[in-house]
Amino acid sequence: MDFKDTPEEAKFRKEVRSWIDANAPKHLEAELKRASFGSSGLTSEDPIEAGKAWQKKKAEAGWACLHWPKEYGGGARTAMERVIWSQEEGPYAVLSSPFTIGHGMCGPTVMEWASEEQKEELLPPLASGEEIWCQLFSEPASGSDLAGLRTRAVKADDGSGDWIINGQKIWTSGAQNSDWGLLITRTDPDVPKHKGLTMFFLSMKTPGVKVVPIKQANGASGFNEVYFDDVRIPDAQRLGAVGEGWRVSLTTLMNERLSIGSGMSTGFPELFKFCMDAEVDGEPATADSGVRSKLAQFAVKQSGLKYTGMRAISALSKGETPGPENSIGKLVAGATMQELSMFALDLQGEAGVLWNEDSPQNGRFQAMLMRSPATRIEGGSDEILRNIIGERVLGLPGDIRVDKDVPFKDIPASGKGRS
């Protein structure tokens, strides 16, 4: 039981710290500290360009994708070194958020399923931030029930072996900035749903691909609709065998849980600072017993997540593999952010309704209120995460699946998007 660095860890930390100190874009620090999950907080510079610049710098010095092998542009660092890096990178980590999906999910999938040549071509520019990837999975009628997707891939009838893709994806984060996409399609509607899927990757510049931004509930536009209209791609861009797409997607989804859930903040430190300054009935808010009780419960969630993360890292560093128990990270953080922001607005009284620069902490809690519903949905909804914990951690029976052995084309669906 020890929080101290080992001598090697301390040495590594020192090295990281001095490199970051010498190279980080310090002029952006204040803005980045205002970031809330899902937004960079940057207004003075284009977040994508600033992100690419920081990623490139990191890559040139060997600090990009610390979890990847060196030959693909990674840093081949240990779990503990990755943690130390992220502790030291602090607010600058936000700059790399355009690459989260690529580095955390698409990259590992390509690494596991693509040919050696493809890996050498695709991975280094992804690691160095020259190219951005997106995940083309969800569809209007298939979110949680991903295997219910309808985007069709059909062999071209000219004997070229190429595939012709038609259909629609939705909620695709970062598609508007992406160079490449990881695309899951249906190649056989006559077999049960999980069996007829096939995975591809493609350039987002391929003719027939159209990206349409969606205006979100919080007013931002981070995700998009993506339409495929007779998009032709060569068979060489297939990942895994035809009909094996589900298996390939599991690589992506497992990595998604790892990369999204770990180390998420709940916003508690900011709330606490706010409560230190705010007043309730003429007293500091933190003197009020009701406020204290709420704050304490938020505090133990925040620290519980932090130390759960440290326990996972301790296990990782002993060679154990992280399992489905990591689903609790996003489950707890998402719900806590939402409750916590409501509580902060409550303390602001009727002025809590205002969302401007004069709002406490620049409207941070208003932003969190308006973004947190998404956190409870993206990357597996609260309900899906509870199923995962119930079934895979506690060993409870799976949900009853009425569509299990039914050919996909015979499964009833909610009207929209049926092809």
Partner 1 sequence: MNLDFSEEQKQLKEQVGRFLAENCPPAAVRAVLEGEQHHDAKLYKGIADLGLLGAAIPEEYGGVGLGQLELCVIAEELGRVIAPVPVASTVYLGAECLLHAGTEDQKSTWLPKIAAGEAIGCWAINEGSGRMRPEKVTASFENGKLNGTKSPVADGAIADFAIVLAKEGSGVSLCLVDLSGDGVERENLESIDPTRSQTKLTFNGASATRIGDAGDGWHIATQVMDKAAILIGFEQLGGADRALEMGRDYALERMAFGRQIGSFQAIKHMLSDMYVSATLARSNCYYGAWALASSAAELPLAAATARVSATTAFQHCAKNNIQVHGGMGFTWAFDCHLYYRRSNALALMIGSLSTWESLLIERMSTGNVEAAA
Ligand X SMILES: Cc1cc2nc3c(=O)[nH]c(=O)nc-3n(C[C@H](O)[C@H](O)[C@H](O)COP(=O)(O)OP(=O)(O)OC[C@H]3O[C@@H](n4cnc5c(N)ncnc54)[C@H](O)[C@@H]3O)c2cc1C
Q: List interacting residues with ligand X (CB under 6 A).
A: 101, 134-135, 137-138, 143-145, 171-173, 223, 374, 377-379, 381, 383-384, 387, 399
3-state secondary structure of 109: helix
Q: Interface residues for partner 1 in 261-300 (CB under 8 A)?
A: 268-269, 272-273, 276, 286, 289, 291-293, 295-297, 299-300
CA 122 to chain CA centroid, nearest Å: 20
Least distance (Å) between residue 60 CB and ligand X: 28
Size of the site for partner 1 (CB under 8 A): 57
DSSP 8-state symbol, 187 = S
Residue closer to partner 1 (CB basis): 24 or 388: 388
Least distance (Å) between residue 183 CB and ligand X: 10
Contact partner at residue 332 from ligand X, partner 1, none, CB < 5 to 8 Å by partner kind: partner 1
Question: Taking CB under 8 A as the rule, does residue 93 contact partner 1?
Answer: no
Question: Taking CB under 8 A as the rule, does residue 145 contact partner 1?
Answer: no
Active-site pick, 256, 279, 320, 391:
256
Residue 224 exposed, middle or buried by CB count within 10 Å (0-12, 13-18, 19+): buried
Q: From CA 18, how far away is CA 24, in angstroms rounded? A: 10
Q: Which of 159, 176, 165 is nearest to 233 (CA)?
A: 165
3-state secondary structure of 191: coil
Least distance (Å) between residue 384 CB and ligand X: 6
Per-residue tokens: 283: 């007293």
Q: From CA 250, how far away is CA 256, in angstroms rounded? A: 9
Least distance (Å) between residue 277 CB and partner 1: 12
Question: Taking CB under 8 A as the rule, does residue 396 contact partner 1?
Answer: yes
Residue closer to partner 1 (CB basis): 5 or 339: 5
The alpha helices in 26-154, defined as continuous H runs, are: 29-33, 47-60, 79-89, 100-101, 107-113, 116-127
Residue closer to partner 1 (CB basis): 53 or 299: 299
Catalytic residue status for 391: no
Q: From CA 138, how far away is CA 256, in angstroms rounded? A: 14
Least distance (Å) between residue 120 CB and ligand X: 26
Question: Taking CB under 8 A as the rule, does residue 361 contact partner 1?
Answer: no
- Sequence-ordered list of residues with C-beta below 8 angstroms from that of 50, at least 6 positions apart, any chain: 25, 28, 40, 42, 95
Contact partner at residue 289 from partner 1, ligand X, none, CB < 5 to 8 Å by partner kind: partner 1
Give the pairing type, strands 238-239 and 197-203.
antiparallel
Which residue(s) pair with 232 in the sheet?
164
Question: Taking CB under 8 A as the rule, does residue 304 contact partner 1?
Answer: yes
Q: Which residues bind partner 1 (CB under 8 A)?
A: 1-5, 9, 80, 83, 268-269, 272-273, 276, 286, 289, 291-293, 295-297, 299-308, 310-311, 313-315, 317-318, 325, 328, 331-332, 383, 385-387, 389-391, 393-400
Q: Just list the catalytic residues.
A: 256
